[in-house]
Amino acid sequence: MTESTKHERKRRQAIREAMDNDCTAIPIGFILFGALGVIAAVGLIELPAMLYSWLLLRRVDVLDLREELSFLALIAAGAAIGFFGGTEVLRLFPRL
């Protein structure tokens, strides 16, 4: 058995154990994607609550979906600019 096969088997076992123990998305994100997976899990933790509140606001007919989606687009654009800008800065100055 090669070293990469052993590593993949350990990784899958860790994911199974995390799911069996009712762990949250943070450990699974870390196992799959490292630190970036933790950041994504923390950033997306409010998504179900937001969708539920949108449902309730829609029921009372006060949801302006166009406005909500424009705010989300601005947030996504800012995150993309920050990510790609930071990546370029680190590429240009690798010792930062």
DSSP string, 5-36: HHHHHHHHHHHHHHHHTT--HHHHHHHHHTHH
Helix, strand, coil fractions of the chain, as percent rounded to 5: 80, 0, 20
The pTM of the full predicted model, rounded to 2 decimals, is 0.56
pLDDT digits (tens, 9 = 90+) for 56-78: 999 999 999 999 999 999 999 99
Dihedral angle computed from the Cα positions of residues 26, 24, 75 and 48, in that order, rounded to the nearest 10 degrees = 180
Which residues touch 96 (CB under 8 Å, ≥6 apart)? 89, 90
pLDDT in tens, 11-56: 777 777 766 655 677 888 888 888 989 888 888 888 889 999 999 9
| Residue whose pair of structure tokens reads 């989300």 in the numeric block | 72
* Token pair for 51: 């969708």
Q: 39: how many CB neighbours lie within 10 A of its CB?
A: 14
Query: What is the pLDDT at residue 18?
Result: 64
Q: Which helix (H) or strand (E) holds 44?
A: none
